[in-house]
Amino acid sequence: QEAFLALHKHGCLFRDLVRIQGKDLLTPVSRLLIGNPGCTYKYLNTRLFTVPWPVKGSDAKYNEAEIGAACQTFLKLNDYLQIETIQALEELAAKEKANIDTVPVCIGPDFPRVGMGSSFDGHDEVDRKSRAAYNLTLLSFMDP
């Protein structure tokens, strides 16, 4: 939360713009795309570039030390979420291999299980890691 507030305090989040009946209007939502250097995301027909988090081998520089620390915090959170996702995928693969009839909350009957099933076994570590490779995050803040 401190990292998010630091980015907000330093003006790193930008107001969202929408077009209604041909007029551009600012919304109460501010956003920031943070992630691996050079990554982009297309949002509302606009290509957004990341504010880089300091991945190993990058030379990201920040105007304020507090911004760099905040970006480092989000990188650590991203690393944690990747580990959690890989563990969840491993558990799912183990259950499928053991033929346990359990459906995770995130997978409903109408949601295709792409890459799952007999071709997805517990030995496919590369596939699990690539499926959990989050390379950017879109942060949003709505003014009260």
The answer to whether the beta carbons of residues 52 and 35 sit under 8 Å apart is yes
The tokens of 101 are what? 């009839």
High-pLDDT (> 70) share of the chain, %: 82
The tokens of 34 are what? 């943070």
* pLDDT at position 122: 45
**Domain ranges for the chain:** 2-142
Kindly indicate whether the domain formed by 2-142 is annotated with CATH number 3.10.50.40.
Answer: no
The tokens of 74 are what? 């989000």
pLDDT category at 16 given cuts 50, 70, 90 is confident
* pLDDT at position 120: 47
pLDDT category at 119 given cuts 50, 70, 90 is very low
Backbone angle region of 123, left / alpha / beta, with phi > 0 → left and psi within -120 to 50 → alpha: alpha
Q: Encode pLDDT of 75-109 as tens digits.
A: 999 999 999 999 998 888 888 878 765 555 565 55
The answer to whether the beta carbons of residues 104 and 92 sit under 8 Å apart is yes
Q: Encode pLDDT of 1-12 as tens digits.
A: 999 999 999 999
pTM over 0.75: no
